[in-house]
A and B are shown apart, each in its own frame.
Chain A
Amino acid sequence: MKLWIRIFLSILLVSLTTLLVSSVIIINRNHLSNLKQEQDRSLNEFEFITSSIGNNMDFTASSIDTMVTLLNRYGNYYAQRGIHLMFYKDGQYLYNSFTEIEQDAYDKLLSVKENTKMLQVFEENGKHFIMVSGLPVDQKTVFLYAREINEIYTAREISIRLTVLLSFGLVILLGLLSYLYSKWITRPIHLLQKGAVSISQGDYSVRIPGTKDEFNDLAIAFNKMASAVENRTQELKDRAKELQIFIDDLSHEMNTPLTSIQGYAEFLQNANASEEQRIKAAGNIRTQARRMKDIYTKLMTLTLAREHKPDIAKVNVNNLLSDLQDTFDVMLKDHNIQWNTENHLTDLHIDRTLIHMLLSNLVKNSIQAMPEGGRIHIRAYKESSKPVIEVSDNGIGIPEDKIDQVIKPFFRVDKSRSRKTGGAGLGLSICKNIADIHNAQLSIHSREGKGTTIRIKFDYLS
């Protein structure tokens, strides 16, 4: 059963029950009190009347006829005042004008003992009578007294009716009030439910307003949850979009060499080509195949780097840098590039293979940025007690609006140029991955036409 219905019914039932129970108790007590009053009054009247009669009549000396006549007079007199008197002696009624109740009904009262009184309430045809019996005067004559006491019963009935009426009124009024109240109380629950439904239908922007009661904590928690869901969903959407772009780019990258390979293979098969043309065609196929392999290898590296558990060890920086120079020695000379190192560090805690790969990528990029020659400057130093390695060149630079995009997979600033030199556009994204693995920050600073500096800042104190 719904909460608001439970609250509503509870309020209603409790109030109703309280009213009814209190009313019943009060009415009852009232009635009993009234009854007692009537009883007392009856006994007093009986006492008074019988002693008055006893004083004015001589029951022992008078004859029956005299008594009857006198008693008649008394009977009539009092009957007019609402009090019925009956007199019984030696097995018969000397006077009895009380017709409302059958004589058999109050036979028991005739067996009253000396110096005692008997009192009983009788009901006949909806009317209530109180009857008293006693042997007040001569211990032989039974005096009977009867009086209608219907008022108190009527009063009780009126009270009961009033109670019923009030109950109805209460049910209606209270019903309305408690309905409104219980709805109001459960409003936060309703809001919460609406909020949850909204979220389940994809609207993550809904929030619950705070309240000043226990529901406030719940509202706060709910809002936090909604925010978290919203953020997570956005993250997932962004991730999915990124993935889609990656796949589009990848398929484009693969498509191009494939077109070449397919075309040249077809050419080799069916064209009436000269020897020179055939050699050229075959050469192109090899180049394109190598390029696809390169992309594939770089992609695997990218993926593996993400999964790879780094093999961190203490690496001597001088060794690292001289190894780097050795790797590129010939290429530097061929391209007329000056190589400079400035090392203020002793060791680095890194995965040597990965960092060598990272630095190689950066150096390769620098070489490609300076086809006419230039200068590469490698700096290793401490900044706020954290180690930093920088690779700078004075090459072609990166346009300011493209700096954020260069680390994205497959992105190339100038597509045709780098394709010629065989770049797949994956170098920097691999570097970023390697930096992430080391919890290091990779930042790019560049001025078009002036040069580029890539800075790797590690996150441990040395």
Chain B
Amino acid sequence: MGHILIVEDEEAISDLINMNLTMVGHTGVQAFDGYEALEAVKSNRFDLCLLDVMLPGIDGFSLLEKFKDKRIPVIFLTAKSSLTDRVKGLKLGAEDYIIKPFDTLELLARIEVVLRRGGNSNDIFHCKDVEVRLDERAVYKDNQVIDLTAQEFALLEILIQNRNLALTREQLLEAAWGYDYMGETRTVDMHIQRLRKKLDWDNVIKTVYKYGYRLEVPKE
């Protein structure tokens, strides 16, 4: 998936972000201040940068400008909820911002959006003998076309994008069925059953006890 630069001076948070990114298939490089970040950019090509604007030494906003020159899309993290900061960041050319404390799934979703915008998201997913082509909305098992309903595909897509992270039934419902869907979560269970059957993924889509479901794949 994406190669992402994490610029955050708080070690614990930087580690956390990195762990989550690797979970879903991205690769991450951690920089703890502005200088490290600039060094990293010299020798690496990144698909995205997560940037904390409250950095010691070089100010986050000036780093933002530098990254913009290098055409690296930036999502900036800010602890302050000040409107002026957010506007400033966006005006300086950031793709998006997220306020700390942030929801992991939300962060990952926004990363996904930015990567897609930049044409960097991986459109093909493999697991066992199943190949899923997200842009074609086609699924192949053993090179045979598998028929999925639109709703089943939507659910599959969410599971793939958030692989190795457990999602609650409510989260799956909201993400795959839509915000205003008024139905019960039982439909989620039913669709999971069908996906497992059609793709022979009983051991891939795991039930997480008392939580939800998780698509488990070995980490890249």
Contact = CB atoms under 8 A, between A and B. Distances in A.
A368 to B, nearest CB: 16
A262 B79 CA distance: 14
Interface string B95-128: 0000011111000000000000000000000000
Residue of B9, B12, B19, B165 with most partner-chain A CB within 10 A: B12
B121 to A, nearest CB: 21
Contacts of B80: 252
B20 interface: yes
A233 interface: no
Given A255-B79, A287-B12, A415-B56, A262 B164 contact: no
A416 B9 contact: yes
Contact of B165 (A270, A277, A281, A414): A270
A255 B166 contact: no
A414 B100 CA distance: 21
Interface stretch (B61-69, B187-195, B208-216): B208-216
Contact of B104 (A252, A266, A420): A266
Contacts of B104: 263, 266-267
Contact of A260 (B12, B19, B208, B212): B12
B19 A271 contact: yes
Contacts of A318: none
Nearest to B218: A272
Interface string B1-30: 000000001111101110110010000000
Given A273-B19, A416-B33, A256 B13 contact: yes
Contacts of A288: 12
Interface string A250-271: 0010011011101110110111
Contacts of B100: 255-256, 259
Given A263-B104, A264-B16, A414 B56 contact: yes
Contacts, number: 79
Contacts of B167: 270
B32 interface: yes
Interface residues of A, number: 27
B9 A271 contact: no
Contact of A270 (B9, B10, B32, B214): B214
Residue of B80, B104, B167 with most partner-chain A CB within 10 A: B104
A253 to B, nearest CB: 10
Given A256-B100, A264-B16, A280-B15, A272 B216 contact: yes
A264 B18 CA distance: 12
Nearest to B9: A416
A187 interface: no
B101 A258 contact: yes
Contacts of B9: 415-416, 419
A421 B19 CA distance: 23
B164 A272 contact: yes
B11 A420 contact: yes
Contacts of A267: 16, 19-20, 104
B214 A272 contact: yes
A237 B102 CA distance: 35
Contact of A284 (B15, B23, B212): B15
Contacts of B103: 266
A269 B208 CA distance: 9
A269 B206 CA distance: 14
Interface string B65-90: 00000000000000110000000000
Given A272-B214, A416-B33, A263 B16 contact: yes
Contacts of A284: 12, 15-16
Interface of A: 252, 255-256, 258-260, 262-264, 266-267, 269-273, 277, 280-281, 284, 287-288, 414-416, 419-420
21 contacts: A255-B79, A255-B101, A256-B10, A259-B101, A259-B102, A263-B16, A263-B20, A263-B102, A264-B12, A266-B103, A267-B19, A267-B104, A269-B166, A270-B167, A270-B212, A270-B214, A271-B165, A271-B166, A272-B23, A272-B206, A414-B56
